[in-house]
Amino acid sequence: MGALPMPEVKVSQAPKNARRFCVLLALVAFFVGCAEGSISPKDDADHADGSDTLIADLRDDCPAGSCPIGEQQCIGPAGYALCVNDGTGCGVFEPPTDCDAGEGCSEGSCRPVGSCVDPDNDSYGTGCAAGDDCDETKPTVNPGAAEVCDGIDNNCIGGVDEGCPDPCAGAPCVVGMRQCDPQERVQECVADANGCGTWGAAVACPTNTCSMGACVGCQDADSDGRGVNCPLGNDCDDTNSKRFEGNTESCDGIDNNCNTTIDEDFPTKGSSCTAGVGACQASGTLRCNSAGTDVACDAVATTGSAEHCGDSVDSDCNGNPDNGFESIGQSCTVGTGSCVASGSFVCDPSDNSRTLCNAAAPTGTPEICDSLDNNCDGTPDNGSVCSSCTDDSLEDNDSSVTGTALTTARTYSGVMSCGADVDWYHLGTFAAGFSAPLSLTQPTGNNGVGAAWADLNAEFYCGSAYCSGMYGTTTSTNFTGACAGCVNGDRVTMRIYPAAGTQPASGTPYSLTRN
């Protein structure tokens, strides 16, 4: 078994199962041999209170490769190892213990895979099978990312731009170094325009003696080259090497250049900021980054949820509110045959995870032979309407002049005139001022089997006396009863019949309206 990795020390829970431990050889970090027994962190004499909840401090005399007793480390995504007492008070890791099915190792312990907390959605986070994340604000920064030359620790190993060319390679010195020149003067390495080191002007020592990059007699308690009798001048704080006049101000809460102002080169420090977008956005404050080179927002974006239709909220936090519902407002149809109706897509009021068409399909009319799906059942001319005519006229007795009542404004639609059928309608009783505005609608051309529709005529009577009619292309009239022989009290009637006396086998449909 190879050497275990040694990640940063973390306090974690007690081991999951009782186990035996093996001694890790000090310098080569290989597990070898096993000994009987079980020793928990509480058995180690170095514990401050003898409890098993504290990790023992690593003794200075422990060999290289030792670990803090009681520490647990993840070994891969689904296993962990415990650091136990090797019998001398130093720690070694036991052989790894596998997590149960459905669990993954996170922060040294097994957790259900479903408990993954991953605000930046890069598969790394607390309780995630892939492992922990070192930065939950950047999905491009995690232990599985490749390091790129961008000034960021992309792969979370603690280094920045490792493997990238050193931009200061070949510089004559490292900023902060000091040296003595042949004239017993001291020189300090300062940053050039690119931030790389270059030797500054030599400064004479007050004692005219320079040794190992410092003037003899220079009182410099913090080794920054500044102090009493030092050629680089006095020090405003000889207890802190990060503070002296002329120093570059860092973002660290310290007055680095001794001008009585802290972090003045970072004016946005302390300002409000946000992380994430949409419903995942979180508020925070701009604070100094760990390197002290700039400010960074301390807010951590939350995890998104499913998008909701029509709420204008970016619930899934991808920068696009209501994405997935792009059909909203687009045209749509519902129904079939003659019952097709047009509308537009809208959010479903009973389920905000989907859309629906807001059109309502008509109910349809009785099927006739016209190549249309009149009753909206998906089949045109079904029910043998094109092979025979079912006399569905409103007048049961074609020879009667009693007629179907049409004395008030209304419409009779879907009426069928079959064969030499005559349909009678009662329009009312004649009196002064009588008026009956009428419209007749009928099909033209050929029907579904190629036969011509019959041309229907309409004739008006007062009592038994003929008055007038609608023939040929005339389809509307206002019958007032002004004809010879029409007297008060006469029944006013009309009849509708095929002009040629015959009709197609399927009959002729029509509608009659009194306005």
Distance, in Å, from the CA atom of 118 to the CA atom of 104, rounded to the nearest integer, reads: 14
Query: Do 101 and 173 fall within a single domain?
Result: no
Q: Name the pTM for this structure.
A: 0.32
Phi, psi for residue 190 in degrees, rounded to 5: -115, 165
- Predicted confidence at residue 393, as pLDDT, reads 62
- Predicted confidence at residue 400, as pLDDT, reads 59
Give the domain CATH number at 410. Answer: 2.60.120.380
CA angle 295, 296, 301 (to 5 degrees): 165
Residue 409: pLDDT above 90?
yes
Residue 124 inside a domain? The answer is no
Query: Do 110 and 25 fall within a single domain?
Result: yes
Question: Average pLDDT, stretch 6-16?
Answer: 37
Query: Do 96 and 187 fall within a single domain?
Result: no
Residue 465 inside a domain? The answer is yes
Count of domains in the chain? 3
Residue 187 inside a domain? The answer is yes
Query: Do 426 and 488 fall within a single domain?
Result: yes
Q: Which domain holds residue 452?
A: 404-514
Give 203-229 pLDDT, tens digit per residue. 888 888 888 888 888 888 888 888 887
pLDDT band at 58 (very low <50, low <70, confident <90, very high): low
243, 269, 292 - which closes a domain: 243
- Predicted confidence at residue 382, as pLDDT, reads 76
pLDDT band at 422 (very low <50, low <70, confident <90, very high): confident
Query: Do 183 and 94 fall within a single domain?
Result: no
Higher pLDDT, 251 or 371: 251
Query: Do 410 and 497 fall within a single domain?
Result: yes
208, 223, 243 - which closes a domain: 243
Residue 292 inside a domain? The answer is no
- With b for 16 or more beta-carbon neighbours within 10 A and e for fewer, the 389-404 pattern comes to beeebebeebeebebb
Distance, in Å, from the CA atom of 334 to the CA atom of 221, rounded to the nearest integer, reads: 87
Helices (H) and strands (E) in the chain, counts: 0, 29
Residue 271 inside a domain? The answer is no
Residue 122 inside a domain? The answer is no
Question: Average pLDDT, stretch 473-483?
Answer: 88
Residue 494 inside a domain? The answer is yes
Query: Smallest Cα–Cα separation from 368: which of 473, 454, 438?
Result: 454
115, 135, 155 - which closes a domain: 115
Give 45-54 pLDDT, tens digit per residue. 333 333 343 4
Residue 23: pLDDT above 70?
no
| Site of tokens 């970016």 | 314
Query: Do 93 and 174 fall within a single domain?
Result: no
Residue 34: pLDDT above 70?
no
* Mean pLDDT estimate for the chain: 79
Candidate ranges 26-40, 257-271, 275-289; pick with highest mean pLDDT = 257-271
Query: Smallest Cα–Cα separation from 301: which of 114, 144, 139, 154?
Result: 139
Give 300-324 pLDDT, tens digit per residue. 888 878 888 888 888 888 778 878 8
Give 384-407 pLDDT, tens digit per residue. 667 667 666 665 555 556 788 899
Residue 287: pLDDT above 90?
yes
Residue 303 inside a domain? The answer is no
Strands 79-85, 97-98: parallel, antiparallel or unpaired by DSSP? Answer: antiparallel
Distance, in Å, from the CA atom of 270 to the CA atom of 431, rounded to the nearest integer, reads: 95
How far lies 284's CA from each of 117, 232, 276, 298, 301, in Å? 19, 41, 11, 6, 10
